[in-house]
Amino acid sequence: MNITEAIRARRSIRKYAAGAEIPDADIQTMLEAAMMAPSACNMRPWEFVVVKDAACKQALVGAHPFAKHLLGASIGIVVCGLPEKHNHLSAEFWPQDCGAAVENILLQALDLGYGTCWCGIYPNQDRVRQFQQILDVQSVPLALITVGVPAETPDARGFYDPKAVLYR
């Protein structure tokens, strides 16, 4: 699959094949793709929490009302920002940097045959605090990505809209 096909084939998956396991090598490949994302001044202001434990998944679902599908997913990957990891030029860009890492995970997972769904956490401060407590992290949870073998094939929801493009 080339990148053009991957971008157009990516879907938000909320139903996963029960009991499917993701090999550690595939998880590492997804995380490597995340860490290849561009970041302001190459500060790489991120860390990642891979969630496999059923009790941890249940706690996260309790903290995020739109992430119930995590319970059926093989894993969750929480992308966390490190706002303090910056220089004078990059201080405000950590959310964008982490967003680029998220997109790389989504595309890499698709290439490996997995479905994903991006669930936002930041800037909802209540949700951020709950995720920090559950995951025992000081970093800022930005997004939860559910990952598993897809058990649905939703239609595309994205499309090209020429009215959203300005030329100057």
d(CA 17, CA 15): 7
Q: Give the other-Cβ count within 10 Å of 126's Cβ.
A: 8
List the one residue out of 134, 142, 73, 139 whose CA is nearest residue 109. Answer: 73
Flag whether 79 is in a domain.
yes
- Residue among 45, 53, 122, 56 at smallest CA distance from 84: 45
Structure tokens at 77: 């990957």
Dist. CA 38–CA 97, nearest whole Å: 7
Per the confidence metrics, is the pTM higher than 0.85?
A: yes
pLDDT in tens, 33-87: 999 999 999 999 999 999 999 999 999 999 999 999 999 999 999 999 999 998 8
CATH code for the domain in which residue 81 is found: 3.40.109.10
> Residue 17 pLDDT > 90, yes or no?
yes
Domain membership of residue 161 (yes or no) is no
156: in domain: no
pLDDT at 86: 86
In a domain, 48, yes or no: yes
Count of domains forming the chain: 1
45 is a domain residue: yes
User: 63 is in which domain, residue-wise?
Assistant: 3-150
